[in-house]
Structure 1
């Protein structure tokens, strides 16, 4: 009987460590990736506001080509910018159109992030339930049964 209980506890531990904790990490990583996207869109919105507030018609900037490799770029006309709209596509938008798009995209991404936060909370709750069940099984296993008590 004790060996059977130990096997059940081992299965629960494996389920928690290899299943639920991995799922929790995946959900939190996905949420963090979405927060990084939101941060990039907010930076872009701030840059657009600077361009509009200062009336810049051309500008020099640094562009990341990837792997933190930057080059200087000259933008001859700031009327239009290219915005990543998803799935690897970029759209040419006016500054006002870009701000409108960013606002909508941010709201959409916030909704996705909230879903991952809810999923993570559910997984945490499942982990807690399984751990409490394991503790209860172990507690019951250590408690002597009534027929073994000396009166």
Structure 2
């Protein structure tokens, strides 16, 4: 009987550690990646506002080529910019079009992040439920059997 309880506890522990905790980490990592995207789009919107407010016709900037390797770039015309619209595609948009796109994209990404937050909450609840079940099994396994006392 004790071995059976230990086997069940080991399976539940494995389920929590190998399944649920991995799923929780994946959901939180995906949500964090979405928040990083949102941050990039909001930064772009801020940069567009600076260009519009200051009436910049041309500008110099640094472009990240990857792995924090930057090169200096000159933008001769700031009327249009290329915006990453997803799936590796970029679209040439006016500043106003870019701001509209960014607003819509940010709202879409927020919904995706909320879905991952909800999913992570559900996984946390499942983990808690399994841990409580394990605690109950351990209580049952250690409770001494009732004795027939003759007084």
TM-score, normalised via structure 2 length: 0.97
Looking at structure 1, the residues matched to 61 and 133 of structure 2 have their Cα atoms a distance apart, in angstroms, of 58
Match in the other structure for 1:24? 24
Distance 1:65 1:149, change over 3 A: farther
Match in the other structure for 1:11? 11
What CA RMSD, in Å, does the superposition of the two structures yield over aligned residues? 0.8
Match in the other structure for 1:60? 60
Looking at structure 2, the residues matched to 89 and 134 of structure 1 have their Cα atoms a distance apart, in angstroms, of 49
Q: Is 2:96 the partner of 1:96?
A: yes
Mapping for residues 2-151 of structure 1, pairs under 5 Å: 2-146=2-146, 148=147, 150=149
Looking at structure 2, the residues matched to 41 and 150 of structure 1 have their Cα atoms a distance apart, in angstroms, of 74
SS at match of 2:81: strand
Q: Which runs of 5+ in 1 are unaligned?
A: none
Q: Deviations over 1:77-131 (max 9, x none)?
A: 0000000000000000000000000000000000000000000000000000000
Aligned residues: 150
Distance 1:130 1:56, change over 3 A: same
Q: Deviations over 1:30-63 (max 9, x none)?
A: 0000000000000000000000000000000000
1:144, distance to aligned residue in structure 2 (A): 1.4
SS at match of 1:18: helix
1:150, distance to aligned residue in structure 2 (A): 4.0
1:149, distance to aligned residue in structure 2 (A): 5.4
SS at match of 1:67: coil
TM-score, normalised via structure 1 length: 0.97
